[in-house]
Chain A
């Protein structure tokens, strides 16, 4: 009778099949067939779509996306790590409030938040008005690459803070006391104990920021003014405007492979030590 419980997992199996395996298979199918394939009788396999991607023009878009996403991820890490450290070191009563504040913006629609940034960064926006008020020169901020990076950092930084915080808060505080007892100064405690133990969180954070950042299309559109095309914009254009689902699927497949590869490389560095907390 006990075995019966496993049947409860079947809806999940169906779910995976319908919404993960089947779409992934369709993307693979589209990416490796020609535009003229309309059914089983006319299906024609080809590698043209992949070949097309390895042209300088598309590779440039790819490198540019990776570059912008990497810059955003690094900034998220630089800002997010201390934030997570501070949250994990505050008293429990305040900690939840801080975490809550961290998550609060995510309750609002992402589009709305991004539109809000447009009024902050604009030429006659809040920031420039403030600069003019205190006598500083004004800057062109909206519709620049900097604005795109800023939008990504703003939108994705909670995904960096939360896993690092989880790793830090699960750390055994006795280890810190032991390090202190053995004569390590604050810097050594951080580099030899805290940092290595929080690495799983850092890696989860990097992955969770980098993945949405590299494939975003709405932020470069709204804050970057479509001037630096990212790979997400290209895929969106191919699907929605050009109707070239085959090429769009091929790019998606390439992206999937790149992300899987980088995740497996990241995991190599990620030696799961005791006390570390992994999110996945």
Chain B
């Protein structure tokens, strides 16, 4: 019996040693976590070659998913690109390191419009990456967008031709704005009203998806879709019948930024990568890949007229005035989650 036990323990420890002991020290690795399809991957290869590092690139699809990945601590990330309300939460929970801006000279290119926002009031923790908004991508041939309202998504004439997002805060944002409420509301009554509205909408909805809607719109499988602005720009480039509207009731403006989580032990290298991604050339190449609006003052000068005249890329000031940024709802997020589950199970 004793021998058996010893054997089992020795095999166990062997497995553990093998599992933990295989890190080699010669080349540094940088763990990067980003949204899916949100960077020109060749930029990373270039950075790897220039600095003799290996970049382990990992993706996620929603800020909530990113938060869990970081919080569970399964892997230690050195650089994360994510959205403002989740960054706010992580700063509050001391999960983010302050940046040394001496190592990020290219920070000077970032437009003042995107600095010092409420999620990082004195801009010590984050460097803006892209920004965008939420709106309706529609097919000009089948949809009359003259109402310029979120009510378009509730139009029964387009039953089973409407695509919503499988993302609770974005879908709730559309309903809350239609009702004239803040998209950061924590008022249970307002949220219940929004939920009722979304339940009413359910029979009209073709699908709840997050990443595939541009492709569906390009193929003209659906009439309209709730999308982020960059998705609209890329879809409009593929199909001329598509157009984008930011409803008059107002919408969400978001800023995605780069942060260095407190788990890192390669702060300087990560800052170097941030600086690299803030260069004009890298920004231009990223725009060409992701199509979201840029925060870069020099890159925007070099873009062609066609892109700048696209209201989904160069969002008009009149729309911007009516936009609201997501805030971290803290424990009130459960109010949203509960209602979203009820909605999806309805």
* Residues in chain A within 8 A of chain B (CB atoms): 7, 10-11, 13-14, 17-18, 57-58, 60-61, 122-125, 140, 142-143, 221, 225-227, 229, 233-234, 237, 239-243
Contact A241 B219 (CB under 8 A): no
Is the Cβ of A57 less than 8 Å from the Cβ of B62?
A: no
Task: Say whether A243 contacts B67, CB under 8 Å.
Answer: yes
Contacts of B64 in A (CB 8 A): 240-243
Q: Are A243 and B71 in contact (CB under 8 A)?
A: yes
Q: Is the interface of B mostly helix, strand, loop or mixed?
A: helix
Contact B8 A13 (CB under 8 A): yes
In whole angstroms, how far apart are the Cα atoms of A140 and B63 in the complex? 33
B206-217 vs A, CB cutoff 8 Å, 1 = contact: the mask equals 111100000010
Q: Are A225 and B8 in contact, CB atoms less than 8 angstroms apart?
A: no
| A14 engages B8 (CB within 8 Å) | yes
Cβ–Cβ < 8 Å partners of A57 in chain B? 341-342, 345
* B186 on interface, CB distance cutoff 8 Å: no
Chain B residue nearest in CB terms to A6: B4
Point out the residue from B11, B67, B219 that lies within 8 Å of A124, measured CB to CB.
B219
Contact in complex: B8, A10 (CB < 8 Å): yes
Output the nearest chain A residue to B9 by Cβ-Cβ distance: A14
Closest to A118 in B: B212
Bound-complex Cα distance A125 to B67 (A): 37
On whether the beta carbons of A11 and B11 are closer than 8 Å, the reply is yes
Task: Please give, as numbers and ranges, the residues of chain A lying within 8 Å of B206 by CB-CB distance.
Answer: 140, 143, 225
Residue of B at shortest CB range from A60? B345
Number of interface residues of B (CB under 8 A): 31
- The smallest beta-carbon distance between B283 and chain A, in angstroms, is 30
> Does B7 count as interface, using CB distance less than 8 angstroms?
yes
B11 near A143: Cβ-Cβ < 8 Å: no
Q: Top 8 nearest A-B pairs by Cβ distance?
A: A225-B207, A226-B208, A143-B207, A123-B221, A241-B64, A229-B344, A243-B68, A61-B345
Given contacts A140-B160, A225-B206, A225-B208, contact A234 B65 (CB under 8 A): no
Asked whether B110 is an interface residue with its Cβ less than 8 Å from the other chain, the reply is: no
**Bound form: Cα–Cα A170–B345 in Å:** 45
Q: How far is the CA of A237 from the CA of B342 in the complex (A)?
A: 13
- Which B residues are closer than 8 A to A by beta carbons? 4, 7-8, 11-12, 15, 62, 64-65, 67-68, 71, 160, 166, 168, 202, 205-209, 216, 219-222, 337, 341-342, 344-345
Check if B68 sits within 8 Å of A240, measured CB to CB.
yes
Minimum C-beta distance from A85 to chain B (A): 38
Q: Which of A18, A122, A234 contacts B221 (CB 8 A)?
A: A122
Taking the closest CB of chain A, its distance from the CB of B286, in whole angstroms, is 26
Beyond A122-B221, A225-B206, A229-B345, 16 extra complex contacts between A and B, CB < 8 Å: A14-B11, A14-B15, A17-B12, A18-B12, A61-B345, A122-B219, A124-B220, A142-B221, A143-B206, A226-B166, A227-B208, A229-B344, A239-B68, A241-B65, A241-B168, A243-B71
Taking a contact as CB atoms closer than 8 A, the residue among A10, A60, A225, A241 that contacts B7 in the complex is: A10
Provide the bound-state CA to CA distance between A221 and B342, in Å. Answer: 17
B168 proximity list for chain A (CB < 8 A): 241
* Contact A14–B344 (Cβ < 8 Å): no
B126 to chain A, nearest CB (A): 22
B residues less than 8 Å from A239 (CB atoms):
68
> In the complex, how many angstroms separate the beta carbon of B222 from the nearest chain A beta carbon?
8
- Contact of B344 with A10 in the complex, beta carbons under 8 Å: no
Cα separation A143 to B206 with both chains bound (whole Å): 6
Complexed CA–CA distance, A60 and B343 (Å): 12
CA distance in complex: A275, B71 (Å):
55
Nearest-neighbour CB distance to chain B for A106, whole angstroms, equals: 24
Give 6 A-B contacts (CB < 8 Å), ordered by A residue.
A10-B7, A61-B345, A124-B221, A140-B160, A225-B208, A241-B68
Tell whether A242 pairs with B220 under 8 Å between CB atoms, given A10-B11, A58-B345, A227-B207: no
Most chain-A CB neighbours within 10 Å: which of B15, B202, B342? B15
* Shortest distance from the beta carbon of A150 to any chain B beta carbon, whole Å: 16
B68:A14 contact, CB within 8 angstroms: no
List the A side residues contacting B65 at CB < 8 Å.
240-241
CB distance from B209 to the nearest CB of A (A): 6
> Min CB distance, A121 to chain B, in Å?
10
Which residues of B sit under 8 angstroms from A125, Cβ to Cβ?
A: 221
Instruction: Specify the chain A residue showing the minimal Cβ separation from B160.
Output: A140
Interchain CA distance A170-B67 in the complex, whole Å: 53
Question: A240 to chain B: which residues have CB within 8 Å?
Answer: 64-65, 68
Quote the shortest CB–CB distance from A115 to chain B (angstroms): 9
Which residues of chain A come closer than 8 Å to B71, judged between CB atoms? Answer: 243
Name the distance in Å between B205's Cβ and chain A's nearest Cβ: 7
Asked if A237 meets B341 with Cβ closer than 8 Å, knowing A140-B160, A242-B64, A243-B64, the reply is yes
Q: Is the CB of B205 within 8 A of A227?
A: yes
Residues of A within 8 A of B222 (CB): 123
